[in-house]
Amino acid sequence: MTAELRVFSDGESKIKIGSKAAGNCIIVQSAHPPADTHLMQILMMAKKCADSGAQDVCAVIPYLAYARQDRAFLEGEVVSIALVAKLLEAAGIRHVITVDVHSQLAMSHFTIGIQNVSSIPLLANYASTRMKLQQPITVSPDAGGSDRAREFAKHLKTDMMALKKSRDRSTGEVTVDGKLDIDVTGRDVILVDDMISSGSSIVKAAEVLRKKGAGKVYAMCAHALLIGDAAHRIKAAGVQDIIATNSVPGEYSKVDMSPAIADALKSRYM
């Protein structure tokens, strides 16, 4: 069924679910910006399903907002994903399926079931079948994404390296070390990340790679938030194209996650 949604001029949402939710209730809603609005809509639908007597309420949230806020980086900060987890549970949700959650730590804050679906196989398949690459190399913009990039490189059968990135926790300023472990001269580069938000990490990485003589540079990710003029700045830094999944709708959402999510649902209910 499709929920009827009305958004008022003050930003409040009103949702109506026409028929009674019996049996298993599966809610499909990504929590991309405006994150608070989309999260509230998930909570409203879940509460209605639970109150209507659904046996099980499962939320498919391809982009899980606040997952990056998985710890207190500075004194006084709220661990926001822990609060989100409690709110989802309080609304009656018993299981969450998401795509490329930011960290295992984020998942650890959930006391209900949470299942993480990887976008890497589908992204790698897109790269191998739709992109004409010359001596490709997979690159992670930072050490934290090494496992993700390594998995992608394994699927695509390429070399892999991680750049050395640092970020000022107070200002958000990003710097990337220009010393590379592998020579990228003349090689096409695929920058692989879980999400692209402001684009600062991709911009800095692309600038370093281009200075080192890389061929075409592509950015691939699960979640293309691309806040403000991020896409323009990324292209201006020498990135040929941005390829993302449809966890966040937009111009660069070129890889459909439906098959992987459907498999996750089948493993739960069949």
Q: Which residues are catalytic?
A: 165
- Are residues 54 and 25 in contact, defined by beta-carbon separation less than 8 angstroms? yes
C-alpha Rg value of the chain to the nearest Å: 20
Nearest-angstrom CA–CA distance, 226 and 89 = 29
HEC profile of 170-231:
CCCCEEECCCCCCCCCCCCEEEEEEEECCCHHHHHHHHHHHHCCCCCEEEEEEEECCCCCHH
User: For 88, left (φ over 0), alpha (ψ -120 to 50), or beta?
Assistant: alpha
Q: Is 96 helix (H, G, I), strand (E, B) or coil?
A: strand
Nearest-angstrom CA–CA distance, 245 and 221 = 7
